[in-house]
Amino acid sequence: MTDTIEIRWHGRGGQGAKTAALLVADAAIATGKMAQAFPEYGPERMGAPVKAFNRISEQEIRVHCAVEHPGIVLVLDETLIDSVNVLEGVPDNGTIIINTEQKPEDYQKKLNFKGSVFTVNASGIARKNIGLNKPNTPMLGALIKATGILDYAKMLEDTTHKLQKKFKNKPEVIEGNVKAIQDAYEEVTR
Amino acid sequence: MTVSTEIKQLVVAKTGNEAMAEAMRQINPDVVAAYPITPATEIAQIFSSFVSDGLVNTEMVTVESEHSAMSACVGSAAAGARAMTATAAQGLMLMAEILPIAAALRLPIVMPEVNRTISGPINIHCDHSDTMFCRDSGWIQIFSENTQEAYDNVLQAIRIAEHARVRLPALVTTDGFIISHAMETIKILPDEEASAFVGAYRANYSVLDNANPITVGSIDLQNYYFEHRLPMINALNEAKAVIKQVGREFGEKYGRAYDLLEKYKLEDAEVAIVCLGSTAGTTKDVVDTLRARGQKIGLLKIRVFRPFPVEDIAAALGGLKAVAVLDRSDALSGYGGPVFTEVCSALFNSAARPKVINYVYGLGGRDIDLHMLEAVFMRLLKIKDGGDLGQIVDYLGVRK
């Protein structure tokens, strides 16, 4: 278990936290790793706080319990930070990536967190490229840039492939999402 | 064990529901009759897209309830079709009237079934109360630890159910959300290989065969009902050998062998946990952690709960000093969970038998983590060393 990377996604029902976790696992598996992605809540309730999880490892992953001490946390909706303890169980050397217009130092202070704080305006990037506030795909780009847990080019390739299958009649959606991932990769700051 | 290297399996990312739907696509059943219910909905939903896309030749029957879904499966199977459906919890409850009929008619219907808590209160998450409620219905019950097993088990269930010595319906479970909605790394057989493994189905009888007319579902009173139940009971017992044989063949061909039970580090173990489904995977990690500290502990995973592997369980556990049976449902019998009482029953006539305690856990989707399992092992080690047995039936991870 020690060499397993554990990730927790915080979002609100409808923002795509579960889909983002699935895309990460899919990309990890496409790059030859073992991975899990699973939601805390099955049927998503629009607007309600939801969590999703990833485990990524070089070895077979056998555990099927909740992720307790995620080394990486992603927050799709910063308003959750006032009502949910997004740092619960996160070690001091962990990483948190927040979808916000604010700077990392603002949240470093607000959260009183010793680990790494990254921020990215994923909602703005999504609105610009996709035309909707769907921050989940841009957060993938931010995640890879901030943590290097997966090969960026391979993740982009696999996610494009997956989007092509899902949106075969909407090429503009595919392009927009890929551009959003690329923008977030460039813009995420620590 | 020889692993064939010629068959190239595809490594993919799939959730439990996707994996089961994928197996159904490769099986290409004649009839699928289904009604949606969380957390099993996706199975029939994904499969229905295979039907629309022309990837299967299946007659998809969208019915108005699970009672009708199982009835349509019974009708089509009686006509000689390979019939499948999928459900969970309240859906299985609504099928309950028809389940024993499918078994008594010896119709090899195969059903992916996602373990979900039965109401009430209403809860959509995992426990085994639904499957255990139907444990005496004459259906073979196979539990899956992860998405890989979910896929492998559905393919094998076809072979088991349709085997000439069995001819009984079979359900294959996954744990709701924990597996059904969890994406994992799995290996998929090539279509032609999966298709060849399950083979073609030829029913012994068809109610539509006018040249050889039969009666299905007749009345059968004091003078013969009993005699007509015995062959079904015998077939369930026969199924044990068939399940082993099919699991062995699957291992020889594809490198993943299956049995009625899975023994994990039991050879020199003094104490063990017995459990079913996804918890077995979590337990394996705990076994490794405590073994690294020198504790002789192991796991017995019950893969097949029906037919109940009495002989194999007695042989696997007889030499141990203390065992904790983990039940993800309470039998509401006043004496713990169903797995506990049946494991005790299997051990009662053994020459050597361990002390056995029971934990009911995880009701309504309550998480079971590494610490809880470690605490169970620590209690077992104390019992092994002569400690007080304490409360035989206990509840794990609940606020008391």
Judgement on whether residues B280 and B314 belong to the same structural domain of the protein: yes
| Backbone φ and ψ of B30, nearest 5° | -70, -40
Of B11, B15, B178, the CB nearest to A64: B178
Judgement on whether residues B125 and B175 belong to the same structural domain of the protein: yes
Residue owning tokens 């990690």: B285
Give the mean model confidence (pLDDT) for residues B122-134.
97
Judgement on whether residues B240 and B364 belong to the same structural domain of the protein: no
CATH of the domain at B265: 3.40.50.920
CATH of the domain at B164: 3.40.50.970
* In-domain check, residue B4: no
- pLDDT tens sequence across A18-37: 999 999 999 999 989 999 99
pLDDT bin (cut points 50, 70, 90) of residue A45 is: confident
Give the mean model confidence (pLDDT) for residues B3-23.
88
Judgement on whether residues B72 and B219 belong to the same structural domain of the protein: yes
User: So what's the pLDDT on residue B4?
Assistant: 52
Domain that includes residue B386, residue range: 261-396
pLDDT over threshold 70, residue B150: yes
* In-domain check, residue B363: yes
pLDDT over threshold 70, residue B5: no
pLDDT bin (cut points 50, 70, 90) of residue A173 is: confident
Judgement on whether residues B374 and B335 belong to the same structural domain of the protein: yes
> Does the beta-carbon distance from B178 to A42 stay under 8 Å?
no
CA A47 to chain B, closest CA, distance in angstroms equals 19
Judgement on whether residues B283 and B199 belong to the same structural domain of the protein: no
A70 Cβ contact list (under 8 Å, min separation 6)? A6, A7, A8, A53, A89, A90, A94
- pLDDT tens sequence across B188-246: 999 999 999 999 999 999 999 999 999 999 999 999 999 999 999 999 999 999 999 99
pTM for the predicted model, two decimal places:
0.95
pLDDT over threshold 60, residue A43: no
> Beta-carbon neighbour count of residue A128 at 10 Å?
14
pLDDT over threshold 60, residue B1: no
Which of A105, A97, A134 has its CA nearest to residue A20?
A134
Judgement on whether residues B280 and B311 belong to the same structural domain of the protein: yes
Judgement on whether residues B226 and B198 belong to the same structural domain of the protein: yes
Give the mean model confidence (pLDDT) for residues A62-81.
96
Judgement on whether residues B174 and B241 belong to the same structural domain of the protein: yes
- Which DSSP category does B62 fall into? E
- A-to-B residue pairs, Cβ atoms closer than 8 angstroms: 72
CA A131 to chain B, closest CA, distance in angstroms equals 28
Judgement on whether residues B385 and B360 belong to the same structural domain of the protein: yes
Instruction: Report the residue of chain A nearest B124, measured CA to CA.
Output: A42
Q: Kindly give the pairing relationship between strand A95-99 and strand B393-396.
A: unpaired
* In-domain check, residue B243: yes
Give the mean model confidence (pLDDT) for residues B336-342.
98
* In-domain check, residue B1: no
User: So what's the pLDDT on residue B170?
Assistant: 98
pLDDT bin (cut points 50, 70, 90) of residue A1 is: very low
User: So what's the pLDDT on residue B245?
Assistant: 98
* In-domain check, residue B2: no
Its ipTM equals 0.91
CATH of the domain at A53: 3.40.920.10
Domain count, chain B: 2
Domain count, chain A: 1
Of A29, A66, A68, the CB nearest to B13: A29
Residue type, A40: E
Question: Of B204, B220, B254, at which residue does a domain stop?
Answer: B254
- Cα B198 from chain centroid (whole Å): 18
- pLDDT tens sequence across B359-374: 999 999 999 999 999 9
Instruction: Report the residue of chain B nearest A67, measured CA to CA.
Output: B369
- List residues of A whose CB lies inside 8 A of any B CB: 1, 21-22, 25-26, 29-30, 33-39, 42-43, 61-66, 68
Interface test with A, best of B38, B43, B185 (most A CBs within 10 A): B185
Q: What span, in angstroms and rounded, lies between the C-alpha atoms of B301 and B396?
A: 18
* In-domain check, residue B151: yes
Q: What span, in angstroms and rounded, lies between the C-alpha atoms of A51 and A173?
A: 25
* Residue B184, SS3 per DSSP: strand
> Does the beta-carbon distance from A64 to B282 stay under 8 Å?
yes
> Does the beta-carbon distance from B185 to A29 stay under 8 Å?
yes
Residue owning tokens 């060499």: A3
- pLDDT tens sequence across A77-112: 999 999 999 999 999 999 999 999 999 999 999 999
> Does the beta-carbon distance from B282 to A34 stay under 8 Å?
no
Q: Pick the residue with more confidence: B1 or B238?
A: B238
Question: Of B254, B274, B305, at which residue does a domain stop?
Answer: B254
Q: Kindly give the pairing relationship between strand A34-39 and strand A5-12.
A: unpaired
- Which DSSP category does B73 fall into? H
Question: Of B225, B254, B283, at which residue does a domain stop?
Answer: B254
> Does the beta-carbon distance from A29 to B12 stay under 8 Å?
yes
CB B363 within 8 A of CB B329: yes
Domain that includes residue A25, residue range: 5-187
Give the mean model confidence (pLDDT) for residues B113-123.
96
What is the percent of chain A where pLDDT is above 90?
Answer: 79
User: So what's the pLDDT on residue B26?
Assistant: 98
Judgement on whether residues B357 and B222 belong to the same structural domain of the protein: no
CB B184 within 8 A of CB A63: no
Mean pLDDT of chain B: 97
pLDDT bin (cut points 50, 70, 90) of residue A163 is: confident
| Rounded alpha-carbon distances, angstroms, from residue A74 to A50, A87, A142 | 12, 10, 9
Q: What span, in angstroms and rounded, lies between the C-alpha atoms of B168 and B307?
A: 11
- List residues of B whose CB lies inside 8 A of any A CB: 11-13, 15, 38-39, 124-125, 146, 175-179, 181-185, 278-279, 281-282, 284-285, 289, 367-370
Judgement on whether residues B110 and B199 belong to the same structural domain of the protein: yes
* In-domain check, residue B3: no
Give the mean model confidence (pLDDT) for residues B162-178.
98
* In-domain check, residue B5: no
| Rounded alpha-carbon distances, angstroms, from residue B132 to B89, B127, B181, B300, B363 | 10, 10, 21, 19, 13
